[in-house]
């Protein structure tokens, strides 16, 4: 089979973010755009001859076409084996699972996570390393540098492979293996959780739950595990068919976008538990009966109850959270006398800690929770964890959370997102804020006095690498905190994220509405940073 060398030149802007390269579909469809980035990954890997690579994605528009391109390029680069999810599908946590199980050199995951899909929407691609986790900053920087000097890419003239048929075939010297995308991951879940006890819970006619797959990748996984293996009633999983445009929805599992699940949970039928997952299956939202469970609280509750789960009965080595996440899990770690690490946003930082054996559980406020079973956050795993705890404690989710607050106190938390704002204005606002940090301590805003202010800097305790400028932190004398940062997950404009958290220990004051409990902080943030003036928005687009 002929290997074709195609001359090319660098394309601006192919810098991977915290979760790879995300752009509009039409940008990826430009001649050479996808090829340049994939070849840059292969050039960074080095000698690909004989190596194994996992390929799969969330099924969004352009997923299948992109996989065919990647396969032809991988064959031309001499990979010995390609492991591909049937239909081109692999959830992000399942891809991590398969990379680790098959001992490959890594994997290419095609996803833009919770971003919308369709011809006019978003597409993404990232490389995960041999540990199954997102590429380190060293690797992503090397990929970016390779993209700036690329002068050719390699491909073949081979025909398309059949992505829908499980089995093995050979293309030139490369073995191409199409696998069931669910089975390896489901077996891993069964090794962690008490499936018999969970089955007794979810198959009980009096227990009613709903899982909203949001027409994204988790549908087949949730149906197989919840309905088939655990025996939940048919129809428990809604919107289970992965669609290229996610059914026209926004596959982000929050109270705004998972509106169908929220309606079910607040409807006339008595519901005990609800959950949703996002586009690529790594995020989760969990709900009790008429009760929203904040992701920060979810991580803390799971850590406090981890020894009820077979896979964690020996205890936790440690826990970690992203810096913007509330400090609820810190209090659990202190009670358990285990380390708690605060990292920048991005799962790659957790991966280092896991590989070094320093942590077992980790999470971030953006609906991501995970453990050392893979090297990605894992939406369905978190839902199964909750079901295992509910089954063991024989208590509803809302009761478990309220009892947690009674024991540890409540960390009121909220995130305000200003989406698609002018990048220049947002960056200028953050620059002004950063330049004035030294002058803030001692000043009072909305009745709250600033105690300290900084821009978060992280030194990795494993490899010593340093990450600066990870988000502005404002600490107040009453223990409250505001965090502001610009997100790198969008494909147009900028997203300003503002995080608020405040601790309340008084049992009589732990049942307030978070927006009311945090009202003074919210007002202080605008006074300090001039959010409305800089964004032109009177209110955030999304509040979680």
Cα–Cα dist 113/123, whole Å: 9
Q: Which of 379, 386, 384, 383 is nearest to 401 (CA)?
A: 386
Length of the chain: 544
Q: Are the CB atoms for 282 and 377 separated by under 8 Å?
A: yes
Instruction: Sort strands 481-487 and 472-476 into parallel, antiparallel or unpaired.
Output: antiparallel
Q: Which of 15, 11, 9, 320 is nearest to 139 (CA)?
A: 15
Query: Positive or negative CA dihedral for 400, 222, 257, 524?
Result: positive
DSSP 20: B
Q: Which of 508, 518, 510 is nearest to 476 (CA)?
A: 518
SS3 247: helix
Q: What is the CA radius of gyration of the chain?
A: 23
Q: Are the CB atoms for 239 and 259 separated by under 8 Å?
A: no
Helix H or strand E encompassing 382: helix 379-393
Cα–Cα dist 34/43, whole Å: 14
Cα–Cα dist 311/298, whole Å: 18
Q: Which of 16, 283, 42 is nearest to 136 (CA)?
A: 16
Mark out the alpha helices in 305-422 (DSSP H runs). Answer: 328-336, 347-355, 379-393, 397-408
**How many CA within 13 A on the CB side of residue 19?**
25
- Is 113 known to be catalytic? yes
Q: Which of 96, 113, 322, 414 is catalytic?
A: 113
Q: ∠ CA 227-228-231 to the nearest 5 degrees?
A: 60
Strand order in the sheet with 444-445: 444-445, 448-455, 472-476, 481-487, 494-504, 410-421, 542-543
SS3 448: strand
For residue 72, CA distances in Å to 44, 45, 47, 103 come to 18, 17, 17, 22
**How many CA within 13 A on the CB side of residue 469?**
8
For residue 20, CA distances in Å to 112, 186, 408 come to 9, 26, 37
Tokens of 290: 């008429």
Write down the residue that tokens 């199409």 correspond to.
178
Which residues carry out catalysis?
113
């Amino acid at each position: 089979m002929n290997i074709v060398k195609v001359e090319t030149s660098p394309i601006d802007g192919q810098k991977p973010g915290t979760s790879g390269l995300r752009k509009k579909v039409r940008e990826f469809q430009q001649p050479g755009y996808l090829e340049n980035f994939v070849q840059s990954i292969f050039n960074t890997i080095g000698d690909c001859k004989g190596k194994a690579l996992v390929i799969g994605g969330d099924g969004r528009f352009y997923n299948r076409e992109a996989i065919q391109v990647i396969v032809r390029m991988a064959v031309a680069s001499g990979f010995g084996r390609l492991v591909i999810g049937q239909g081109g599908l692999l959830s992000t946590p399942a891809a991590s699972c398969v990379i680790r199980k098959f001992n490959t050199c890594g994997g290419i995951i095609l996803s833009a996570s919770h971003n919308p899909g369709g011809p006019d929407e978003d597409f993404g691609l990232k490389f995960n390393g041999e540990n199954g986790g997102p590429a380190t900053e060293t690797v992503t920087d090397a990929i970016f540098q390779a993209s700036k000097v690329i002068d050719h890419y390699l491909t073949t003239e081979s025909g398309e492979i059949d992505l829908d048929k499980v089995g093995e075939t050979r293309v030139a010297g490369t073995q191409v293996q199409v696998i069931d995308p669910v089975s390896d991951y489901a077996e891993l879940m069964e090794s962690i959780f008490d499936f018999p006890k969970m089955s007794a819970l979810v198959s009980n006619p009096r227990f009613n739950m709903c899982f909203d797959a949001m027409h994204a990748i988790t549908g087949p996984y949730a149906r197989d595990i919840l309905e088939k293996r655990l025996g939940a009633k048919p129809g428990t999983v809604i919107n289970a068919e992965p669609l290229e445009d996610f059914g026209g929805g926004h596959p982000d599992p929050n109270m705004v976008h998972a509106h169908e699940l929220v309606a079910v949970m607040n409807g006339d039928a008595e519901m005990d538990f609800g959950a949703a997952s996002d586009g690529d299956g790594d995020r989760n939202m969990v709900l009790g009966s008429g009760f929203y469970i904040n992701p920060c609280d979810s991580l803390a509750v799971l850590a406090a109850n981890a020894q009820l789960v077979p896979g964690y009965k020996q205890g936790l080595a440690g826990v970690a959270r992203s810096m913007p996440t509330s400090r609820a899990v810190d209090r659990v770690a202190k009670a358990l006398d285990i380390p708690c690490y605060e990292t920048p946003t991005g799962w790659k930082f957790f991966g280092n800690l896991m590989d070094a054996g320093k942590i077992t559980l980790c999470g971030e406020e953006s609906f991501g929770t995970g453990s050392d079973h893979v090297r990605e956050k894992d939406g369905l795993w978190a839902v199964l964890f909750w079901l295992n705890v509910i089954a063991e404690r024989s208590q509803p989710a809302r009761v478990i959370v309220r009892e947690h607050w009674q024991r540890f106190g409540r960390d009121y938390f909220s995130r305000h997102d200003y989406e698609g704002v002018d990048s220049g204005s947002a960056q200028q606002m953050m620059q002004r804020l950063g330049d004035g940090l030294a002058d803030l301590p001692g000043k009072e805003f909305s009745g709250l006095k600033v105690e300290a202010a900084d821009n978060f800097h992280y030194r990795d305790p494993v490899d010593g690498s340093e990450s600066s400028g990870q988000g502005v932190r404002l600490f107040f004398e009453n223990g409250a905190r505001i965090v502001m940062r610009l997100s790198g997950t969008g494909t147009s404009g900028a997203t300003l994220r503002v995080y608020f958290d405040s601790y309340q220990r008084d049992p009589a004051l732990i049942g307030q509405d978070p927006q009311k409990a945090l009202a003074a902080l919210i007002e202080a943030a605008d006074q300090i940073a001039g959010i409305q003036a800089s964004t032109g928005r009177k209110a955030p687009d999304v509040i979680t």
